[in-house]
Amino acid sequence: MSVTPTHPPQRPVADRCPGLLRPHVAQDGALVRLRLPGGEVGVDVLMDLLALAGRHGAPVLQLTSRGNLQLRGLPDPLPDAFVRGVEATGLLPSATHERVRNVLAAPLAPGLQPLVRDLDAALCADPALADLPGRFLFAVADASGSPLSEPYDVAYRARSLTEGLLLAGGRGRPVSSTDAVAAVLDVARAFLAHAPHGVWNVRDLPAGSPVLGGLDPVPPAVAPPLEPGPVGEDLVAGVPLAMLRPGHVAALAEVAGRVVVTPWRSLVVRGGAAAATALERAGLVVDPASAASRVSACVGAPHCAKARSATLPVAADVVAALDARGTATPPLHVVGCERRCGARDGDLVAVGAPDADAVLSLLPGDRA
């Protein structure tokens, strides 16, 4: 076991990103990933998905680092009733483009949602763009730069209501808000035309790639990830270990009709600040000082065939121990193998930890 900084994994040539119509079969059964462009979703949809998950697989919804949802532990092949049930939620508007609808948006900027919807509609309307890799990531950012902390491929960053920047590969150019969708998708089309075989992301393109033609170097403008807690009248509610459970959603239903799934294991609840105590009682995280806001994990054993440790219970024990200590720690990610799935830049990554004590012994200040 070790604790190490993250580093890019070696990428196979095959694109194995799952969707509903092309699930991934893991050790615990089939896994499907549902895209939520912009992260916005109805609480009633979350309730319907949890009901489907409970009938057919593991009764949780996993939040992903791209603001999407995963259901796992499902039968292989997927039952027709499960597929029809997911389709009835409206989360599969395009069977051909389901895996490429990866669009992050600033979670605290609801005014960007119309642009997100336009981008999603234009993406699905172009048959050629169905060939994008499932890991290609679009982003729509506000003036602060949220969520440009994530490894996007092409983004639009609004600087006002009428103009902003097209961004890709550390470069960019000014673009009007009315031209933003077309400009973003032009970069995606150029990627399809010029990216070498096996290259999934703009950051992996060779120097001088025509995909970045006409773009100039731009200084980064990156807002930090959201922490749990009130933001004005809204609330950022952390989801422990990114596992959204029926009790969480039942409490959310008492507060809001819609929420925004963020790429940081949390939800933005519009107008939810006043209900922070109730949501905390339901198990959501509303205090940035809680260790649950800094500890994450891959799904681990027995769910993943490659994992050699049960990461979720270990991580839960780590959270309890850190909260009991009341001391701050850096972001910590517990994984079951050297692939380090789900690790983020800046995380300390505990690989193959058999228990919480083994993880804690490797943290700064605890090493022998």
The structural domains of the chain, with segments of one domain joined by +, span 93-224, 289-368
Question: pLDDT digit string (tens) for 215-248?
Answer: 999 998 899 999 999 999 999 999 999 999 999 9
**What integer is the mean pLDDT of 19-31?**
93
CATH number assigned to the domain with residue range 93-224, chosen from the 4 options 3.40.50.300, 3.30.413.10, 3.10.20.30, 3.40.50.150: 3.30.413.10
* pLDDT band, residue 14 (cuts 50/70/90): low
pLDDT-above-90 percentage for the chain = 83
Question: pLDDT digit string (tens) for 266-287?
Answer: 999 999 999 999 999 999 999 9
Lowest-confidence range among 3-17, 198-212, 344-358? 3-17
- 116 to 54, 110, 180: CA distances (angstroms): 31, 10, 10
Q: Are 182 and 166 in contact (CB under 8 A)?
A: no
**pLDDT score for 291:** 92
329 vs 56 pLDDT, higher one: 56
Rounded CA gap, 342 and 335, in Å?
Answer: 8
Average pLDDT, rounded, for the chain: 92
**pLDDT score for 129:** 98
Q: Which CATH class is domain 289-368?
A: alpha beta
Rounded CA gap, 25 and 231, in Å?
Answer: 39
**pLDDT score for 166:** 98
49 vs 342 pLDDT, higher one: 49
**pLDDT score for 89:** 98
Question: What is the CB neighbour count within 10 angstroms for residue 252?
Answer: 25
Is pLDDT at 8 greater than 60 in this prediction? no
Asked, colleague to colleague, whether 93-224 and 289-368 share their fold, the answer is yes
**What integer is the mean pLDDT of 139-150?**
97
**pLDDT score for 226:** 96
For the ranges 5-9, 150-154, 320-324, the maximum mean pLDDT occurs at 150-154
Is pLDDT at 191 greater than 90 in this prediction? yes
**pLDDT score for 154:** 98
Predicted TM-score (pTM) of the model is 0.92
* pLDDT band, residue 366 (cuts 50/70/90): low
**pLDDT score for 70:** 97
**What integer is the mean pLDDT of 151-166?**
97
Is pLDDT at 368 greater than 60 in this prediction? no
